[in-house]
Amino acid sequence: MIKFINETVDYLKAKGFDNPEVGIILGTGLGQLIDEIDIIEQVSYNHIPNFPTATVEFHKGKLIYGKLSGKTVVVMQGRFHLYEGYTLSDVTYPVRIMEKLGIKTLLVSNASGAINLNFRKGELMLIDDHINLQGSSPLAFKGVEQLGERFTDMSEPYDPEIKALFKSIAKTHDITLHEGVYASVVGPQLETKAEYRMLKIIGADAVGMSTVPEIIVANHLKLRTAAISVLTDECDPDNLEPVNIADIIAMAAKAEPHMITLFKELLKEL
């Protein structure tokens, strides 16, 4: 993997991706932040050596380098998922690339379903902790110790200082920002009523199909991390209504201005 990482990093550096400070992963329906960036360079994933290719139609599949709120950022406009047929090493490969390019902080967004019945669709949830239900770990491969400590501590995977800043910014801008536990499943099918009940019992406040692998690898690489979910549907098993991906994308887009405000204001404070 080290050989592949070096090839990818060399390619991006030659393209002008020079020592970014912050990496950002944009999830489902959350691409409008790109419009706020002073773009210096951008490249499609399918042109980057050893990079996976985005197969989800609403993920643009571009790596973008530029300035946002005074910080140099590298932004993934679209991510990868296990349900696309990729391995966890594939899904998290971009995190390793961004770290080698120079980032010290990784910010992640996603769309998720609200399991906590006090939460409403269209609101945001700051991820305080997570539950990995994807069946494996992105660190479970031969030679991982060459890239970082094998037995990575996960007692506090999300940076407390960044979480505090997000909460302060949300209060200042009158943005509803819940805090809770995110459960990551494989997908792509949505959950059954019984699965929602199980997730609630084990302590999840929201459920989605991403984020946790990237956060695990970011901790493996000693990056500061934070993640926010846009709650796109309400997962009450006793009053469950059918939902489709178009509804999820539409709700994510509706809530996105608040997400953009949080990210832009946070970068000013880092």
What's the rounded mean pLDDT across residues 57-74? 90
CA-derived radius of gyration, the chain:
17
188 cis-preceded (ω within 30 degrees of 0): yes
- Parent domain of 252: 2-269
**Tokens standing for residue 233:** 């549907």
Which tens digit of pLDDT belongs to each residue from 177-213?
A: 999 999 999 999 999 999 999 999 999 999 999 999 9
Distance (Å) of CA 53 to CA 57, 83, 84, 176, 242: 11, 13, 10, 34, 30
Query: Length of the chain in residues, anyone?
Result: 270
Q: Confidence class of residue 59 from pLDDT cuts 50, 70 and 90? A: low
pLDDT of residue 149: 87
- Using the predicted structure, report yes or no on whether residue 55 has a pLDDT greater than 80: no
Q: pTM of this prediction?
A: 0.95
| Cβ-contact 267, 71 below 8 angstroms | yes
Lowest mean pLDDT among 14-18, 166-170, 247-251, 258-262: 247-251
**Which residue type does 18 have?**
D
Q: Which residues lie across from 76 on neighbouring strands?
A: 25, 63
More confident residue, 162 or 246: 162
Helix, strand, coil in percent for the chain, rounding step 5: 35, 25, 40
User: What CATH number corresponds to the domain at position 198?
Assistant: 3.40.50.1580
pLDDT of residue 32: 86
Calpha distance 30→231 (Å, rounded) = 12
Q: How many domains does the chain have?
A: 1
